[in-house]
Amino acid sequence: MSTSRIKNIAIFASGTGTNAANIIQYFKQKKTAKVVLIVYNNQFAGVLKIAETNSIHSLIIQKEKFLKGDAYIPELKNAGVDFIVLAGFLWKIPALIINEYRDKIINIHPALLPKFGGKGMYGNFVHEAVLSAKEKESGITIHFVDEFYDNGKTIFQTTCPVYENDTTETLAKRVHELEYKYFPKVIEELIEKKQ
């Protein structure tokens, strides 16, 4: 039986934060890990309200310090962060953080990488590209984060159909359902494996 302590997750998110809310909720009932910090870079991010509602510390970050300074490593260490989960975070993760948290940073992408990834491919831009390419299926990719956009090793993928009459909204909704269903479980499994 493992006697390891409960692990601390930081979620980096700068959008509406529906995945963040889902992950926070999931880990409330778990003994493996809990969400201790929300990191965001946009003062209007919906995720801030989610942090407040759940009484989780939040940290707004500035680009200069994040990309060219100490990358907020002291703040992450002070919060006891063990794992970093990106859920709608658009800045590239600096090498300082990658090196400190190697194989402990994961991202979710709303399509089947390596297709439809890279800089600028986020949110509805991804779904528009999938629809324009007349793909028959899309899905989610959960992967490790390295120095490059959407490039780290894939941990998990699952698919959903794309229908001829789909809009970006209908496709986004189907993909979001997969995210809610699988992302917390994949995070949990990864943390258990690293114990």
Q: Does 108 bind ligand GRF (CB under 6 A)?
A: yes
Distance (Å, rounded) from C-alpha 4 to C-alpha 192? 10
- Residue from 94, 110, 139, 152 that binds ligand GRF (CB under 6 A)? 110
Look at phi and psi of residue 191 and say left if phi exceeds 0, alpha if psi is from -120 to 50, else beta.
alpha
**What's the token pair of residue 171?**
């496709």
Instruction: Name, in order, each residue with C-beta under 8 angstroms of 165's C-beta and a sequence gap of 6 or more.
Output: none
Q: Is 91 helix (H, G, I), strand (E, B) or coil?
A: coil
Q: Does 150 bind ligand GRF (CB under 6 A)?
A: no
Q: Is 176 tagged catalytic?
A: no
Amino acid identity for residue 162 in this structure: V
Q: How far is the CB of 136 from ligand GRF (least distance, A)?
A: 20
How many CA within 13 A on the CB side of residue 25? 11
Task: Give the distance, in angstroms, between the CA of residue 128 and the centroid of all CA atoms in the same chain.
Answer: 21
Distance (Å, rounded) from C-alpha 87 to C-alpha 123? 11
Catalytic residue among 57, 109, 127, 143: 109
Please say which residue, 16 or 158, places its beta carbon nearer to ligand GRF. 16
CB atoms within 10 A of CB 59: 16
Task: Give the distance, in angstroms, between the CA of residue 115 and the centroid of all CA atoms in the same chain.
Answer: 18
- Residue from 38, 71, 84, 87 that binds ligand GRF (CB under 6 A)? 87
Stretch that binds ligand GRF, among 18-26, 52-60, 129-137, 146-154 (CB under 6 A): 18-26
Residues 165-184 that bind ligand GRF (CB under 6 A): 179
Residue 155 has φ and ψ, to the nearest 5°, of: -100, -35
Q: Does 139 bind ligand GRF (CB under 6 A)?
A: no
- Residue from 9, 10, 19, 130 that binds ligand GRF (CB under 6 A)? 19
Q: How far is the CB of 22 from ligand GRF (least distance, A)?
A: 8
Q: How far is the CB of 104 from ligand GRF (least distance, A)?
A: 18
Please say which residue, 69 or 128, places its beta carbon nearer to ligand GRF. 128
Q: Does 124 bind ligand GRF (CB under 6 A)?
A: no
Q: Which residues are catalytic?
A: 109
* Interface ranges with ligand GRF (CB under 6 A): 13, 15-20, 87-88, 108-110, 179
